[in-house]
Amino acid sequence: MHQPAPDPGPRVLHVAQPADGGVARVVLDLVRAQLAAGLHVTAACPGGELADGLRQLGADVRTWRASRSPGPGLPGEVRALARLIGEVRPELVHAHSAKAGLAARLAVRGRVPTVFQPHAWSFEAVGGLTATLALRWERWGARWAHRVVCVSEAERRTGLRAAIHAPYAVIPNGIDTHRFSPRPAPAEAAPLVVCVGRLCRQKGQDVLLRAWDDVLATAPRARLVLVGDGPDRAALHQRAHPSVRFTGAVTDPLPWYRAADLVVLPSRWEGMALAPLEALGCGRPVVVTDVDGARESLPPALLHDCLVPPEDPAALAGAVTRLLSDRARCAALGAQGRRHVLAAHDVRHTAARIAAVYRELLGTRPPVPSERREPIHS
């Protein structure tokens, strides 16, 4: 007897720009889970490490040529994305970060269920007129997002304070807790501090370098490694002490987490940074700045030792030197951080909650059969 073919999973299109760093890791983890669950997943991005990783997973990858920031090429980028959406005919679009969120919402305009995930708000990254325009756009564009997914309650509150009225869901970032797991650090006498992140104003490595002289006054043998690359690399090189090493871009930060005595991320703004979660997953203590998502990413026991005000080199240096001088305390905080990540930030929980959002949106607006669906044009 002929058995009918099982119904295919819904067609989901992820749109991402930037295509590296934390955004890329979030998209890769989501797509991996969605492919395993039977969804038909396509991703549109400019290329880079995200496209390579998605192809290795077996996802359908479409090249969408788009700059990292809005500019005069935006209308053409929106038209190209609209054509791509017309070809893929997704039943749901999930746009990641400000640029992709801008282009995707302009291309779709609410005609397909749309999830927008800011990964930190665009108006926090800029100043002056640019910030005003970004805020106005986020308020206007909210009408074309069926759900705005914030990675922390603090990020959602920032949106509400900015009068961005949208249907929100708060789904904390998660990590692969099997991969980011503890291993004994190499036995070295010199303390090693590691900062993982794009070398840019957001991540605050300039603040860390200003604090580093004070750290060396107490721990003269300490070493600092900045893992990553970005537009501020040359300027940071110029002010760095000889004890500071720059790795450039790396394919995998895991060995650096495991080598560290302490991981530091002195960000100026975030939604919820991945690097502290990855470090805690490896059983390493962290020092982070009190920006959106930081308090929610730490267990209560770490808040006193590991949280400092943003753009405060003296407070940052004090926290780093206190922890470097007490390795037993570092080990205890790292173990508590590992337990917290296992309970609250496993990527499988994150993927399940995203899947629940998808089901809700697709359930309230059933997919149109492909033969009746009209392509979207801008």
Distance (Å, rounded) from C-alpha 45 to C-alpha 38?
22
146 and 199 both lie in a single domain: no
Q: Which residues contact 245 (CB under 8 A, 6 or more apart)?
A: 223, 224, 225, 226
Q: Which of 205, 267, 262 lies closest to 230 in space, CA to CA?
A: 205
Q: Which of 85, 69, 184 has its CA nearest to residue 137?
A: 69
Question: Is residue 19 in some structural domain?
Answer: yes
* Count of CB atoms situated within 10 Å of the CB of 238: 8
What's the domain range around 300? 192-344
Whether 180 maps to a domain, the answer reads no
Ordered alpha helix ranges (H), 202-248 = 205-218, 233-239
325 in a domain, yes or no?
yes
Sequential DSSP letters for 174-195? -B-TTTS---PPP--SS-EEEE
How far is it, in rounded angstroms, from Cα 329 to Cα 191?
Answer: 14
Query: Nearest 5°: phi and psi at 136?
Result: -60, -40
What are the structure tokens assigned to 91, written together? 């039943």
Residues 238 and 360 in one domain: no
Number of domains in the chain: 2
CB 117 within 8 A of CB 233: no
Q: Could you tell me if 19 and 151 lie in one domain?
A: yes
Query: Going by C-beta distance under 8 Å and a sequence separation of 6 or more, which residues neighbour residue 62?
Result: 42, 43, 44, 84, 87, 88
The structure's pTM equals 0.88
Q: Does a structural domain hold residue 258?
A: yes
What pLDDT does residue 127 have?
A: 77
Residue 373 has a pLDDT of 40
Identify the DSSP state of 298: S
10-residue mean pLDDT series, the chain (378 residues): 56 92 92 93 93 95 90 91 97 96 96 95 85 92 96 95 96 96 78 96 96 96 96 95 95 94 96 96 97 94 94 97 94 96 95 95 56 42
- Determine the Cα–Cα distance for residues 177 and 181; give it in Å rounded to an integer: 6
* Residue position matching structure tokens 């291993």: 183
DSSP 299: -
